[in-house]
Structure 1
């Protein structure tokens, strides 16, 4: 489902999008900018002039021919990719490379759920669905359009609320004044969740991916990286019972993953191993984030486990194929600030954490809980010729519209294991996390003005 809806490309507040961190826009053409097959207009050309003046990079991604797009682009003069075969993700990835921007700085704008939005979601790109444009003499819509309209009535109930920066982009609409749709229509929310769960099962069956399934007690000999995380947080407003339950939930889920071996070419799926989170399977109420609020919920704390997995993976040559983020400012930092101590989101089964083993050797994950601490090891058959560390730049807290946000840029640095020479520096996250704890606990020396 889309992250946000807009009546048209002209009703999107592009300045707000730029202000919250987006720098690239990928546009569909037919049905989005003009009716199907129509030529560009002065209004379209003026829109792109405005967007470029704001500072955006743009790209046209269309299933149409190169001749058609070249003619349409004669005044706009932007990057374009023809015959994109949307929703196939290959040309979405190609578009990201052309824009030369991190994924979290790019937004896809289109009129079709099954091509523009589905492809953007598969590629992990933010997206906006606009109302499709028709020629003046058109009165009927196709079957696919009718299915899309039905899905929107149900599916948007939950998905529109997922990425908070997008809540500011629909012109003249203050979504914060009303309760989230998931609270106003809980039955439809449940239906939307079931739809997304079923959709993921179908995608996995069609994809024919080879998921890691083999677990073994014998540990592989080489330690690539280790993590540890004390699980019990204390402080004002923190329920000790929910903290204990969180530790129990993590212990149970970790036992489902401990010892898993990811063979070369295999993909790891958090939910394929952990399974459903419910009382029947032994889980309890812990702290969860719902509609950007921390509250009690079944299986609370599982995101903490996923986050420690993420820390293991980003210190290795493993390739992340699916990652979802929530605020990493859930509680004040304890001791020295370390990036990615929080922030990984999972929800059965459609918000998954996945990665692939592109190396030529087996890799193993070991996870266990002892003394209220989660321990993790990433192991391999032999040492890799690279080593990895994280660097966080320009960390600070900023006040925006009465709320505080943690901001920073987090990089993964790859070095030669022998010489320590830097080989690569990858921007993993352009962080903008709403602070979820008491503002009085924010260190004053870390509060900056933009």
Structure 2
């Protein structure tokens, strides 16, 4: 692995790059030969394969809480585009193809965006919480993640973290997509909704699951780099069990490497 270090790009370079990558994605959606999931069901499939929730509001150092409140507005709009989507055998779920662009015309507002390791704002900001949730749930289901992007920067130190570092999926319309393929013979349904305090997701199926999964990390470390900063590393694995809780397999999922934007060996409190 090449050593990570912060990259400085001009605003013009970033602007042109986004345009090029977005055009590339638009063309891929129509010529890549994939069958994308579009069907929705109002009624829920009978069995919950995996369910997870994450808090809507967190106190983050030097982040205006208004951005967190705005994030809830953005999550509600995006959740409506995904709730009830059915991923049939052979189909691919595309996060951005279903949600579409995040514009003010659709009701999206300014939320928090992480840009090259810095906290900034942008219309539709905060939707990484939704892609993180879906990715984490998919690691606990018999579905195949075919496209996922890790966070290049670890911006905030751990605080009440319940999941391993690097178990999320960053997103940026439309080129940083989350894509999931159903390579099973069952159809799976995505349920997304908000409560007063949480973003909640479920993968559901018509039949009960015959496997369970335990996701964990290995080889977690920080390395001091020659340019003066730190990079955080780990590997994500999952153990597979049958319904009798017998161990079946230990699967490698992904490796993560992210530039830390804080001093990793200090103690942080909220």
Question: TM-score with structure 2 length normalisation?
Answer: 0.89
Q: Give the corresponding residue for 2:136.
A: 311
CA distance in 1, matches of 2:237, 2:82: 27
Compute the displacement of 1:399 (Å): 3.5
CA distance in 2, matches of 1:224, 1:442: 39
CA distance in 2, matches of 1:310, 1:397: 24
Q: Which has the higher contact order (CA 8 A, sep 6+)?
A: 2
Q: Give the corresponding residue for 1:114.
A: none
Q: Give the corresponding residue for 1:180.
A: 9
Q: Give the corresponding residue for 1:225.
A: 50
Find the partner of 2:255 among 400, 405, 430. 430
Say which SS state the counterpart of residue 251 (structure 1) adopts. Answer: helix
CA distance in 2, matches of 1:189, 1:406: 25
Gaps of 5+ in 1: 1-15, 21-164, 168-174, 445-450
CA distance in 1, matches of 2:146, 2:61: 37
Specify whether residues 339 and 382 from structure 1 end up closer, same or farther in structure 2 by C-alpha distance, changes over 3 A only: same
Question: Quick check: 1:413 aligned with 2:239?
Answer: yes
CA distance in 2, matches of 1:389, 1:207: 33
Compute the displacement of 1:430 (Å): 2.2
Specify whether residues 241 and 342 from structure 1 end up closer, same or farther in structure 2 by C-alpha distance, changes over 3 A only: farther
Find the partner of 1:240 among 59, 65, 78. 65
CA distance in 2, matches of 1:242, 1:197: 26
CA distance in 1, matches of 2:252, 2:200: 26
Question: Quick check: 1:402 aligned with 2:228?
Answer: yes
Specify whether residues 397 and 442 from structure 1 end up closer, same or farther in structure 2 by C-alpha distance, changes over 3 A only: farther
Say which SS state the counterpart of residue 308 (structure 1) adopts. Answer: helix
Question: Quick check: 1:385 aligned with 2:214?
Answer: no
Specify whether residues 203 and 431 from structure 1 end up closer, same or farther in structure 2 by C-alpha distance, changes over 3 A only: closer
Say which SS state the counterpart of residue 264 (structure 1) adopts. Answer: coil
CA distance in 1, matches of 2:47, 2:165: 24
Task: Report if aligned partners of 1:413, 1:424 keep a CA contact under 8 Å in 2.
Answer: yes
Compute the displacement of 1:336 (Å): 5.0
CA distance in 1, matches of 2:90, 2:98: 17
Equivalent pairs, count: 267
Compute the displacement of 1:397 (Å): 3.9
Find the partner of 2:33 among 204, 208, 212. 208
Compute the displacement of 1:441 (Å): 8.2
- Deviation string 1:157-203 (CA, Å, 9 cap, x unpaired) is xxxxxxxx2x5xxxxxxx85xx413x2x2xx5333322222222222
Q: Give the corresponding residue for 1:197.
A: 22
Specify whether residues 318 and 342 from structure 1 end up closer, same or farther in structure 2 by C-alpha distance, changes over 3 A only: closer
Say which SS state the counterpart of residue 250 (structure 1) adopts. Answer: helix
Gaps of 5+ in 2: none
Q: Give the corresponding residue for 1:439.
A: 263
Specify whether residues 435 and 337 from structure 1 end up closer, same or farther in structure 2 by C-alpha distance, changes over 3 A only: farther
